[in-house]
């Protein structure tokens, strides 16, 4: 079973999940606490996380993530609702501000 560590609201939530689990689906049925999310469909970015460890074990960002996060995907930002967890992973939702970060990235070009 993959182990998930999520940094959120000053806490680290650690939990084992089934192979291929979607954390937003688990959060929706109260089986993964504290996770921030909204639409569950890749449209709102409320579930955005940054992958701290285990990024190589994830499928590449899909078109929804590319559309909503743009170049931030290169900095390991992902939409949690689009991830199927198949290996140990560490994520953070601390200090994530997609609009601000996208603006900063655009200004740095
Ligand atoms: S929950 Fe809305 S984009 Fe993931």
How far, in Å, are 42, 47, 57, 75, 99 from residue 18 at the CA level? 22, 20, 15, 26, 32
| CATH class of residue range 3-108 | alpha beta
Q: Which atom of ligand 1 is nearest to the CA of 82?
A: 4
Q: Which atom of ligand 1 is nearest to the CA of 80?
A: 4
Q: Is the CB of 25 under 6 A from ligand 1?
A: no
Q: Is the CB of 78 under 6 A from ligand 1?
A: no
Domain boundaries, the chain: 3-108
pLDDT of residue 1: 95
User: With bands split at pLDDT 50, 70 and 90, how would you rate the model's confidence at 105?
Assistant: confident
User: With bands split at pLDDT 50, 70 and 90, how would you rate the model's confidence at 54?
Assistant: very high
Q: Is the CB of 39 under 6 A from ligand 1?
A: yes
Which of 46-50, 65-69, 90-94, 105-109 is the least confident region? 105-109
CA 59 – CA 57 distance, rounded (Å) = 7
């Amino acid at each position: 079973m993959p182990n998930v560590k999520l940094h959120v609201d000053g806490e680290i939530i650690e939990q084992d999940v089934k192979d291929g689990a979607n954390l937003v689906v688990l959060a929706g049925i109260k089986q993964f606490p504290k996770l921030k999310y909204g639409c569950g469909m890749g449209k709102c970015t409320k579930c955005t996380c940054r992958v701290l460890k285990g990024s190589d074990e994830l499928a590449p960002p899909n078109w929804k993530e590319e559309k909503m996060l743009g170049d931030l995907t290169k900095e390991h930002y992902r939409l949690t609702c689009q991830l199927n967890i198949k290996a140990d992973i560490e994520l953070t939702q601390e200090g994530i501000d997609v609009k601000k970060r996208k603006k900063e990235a655009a200004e740095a070009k």
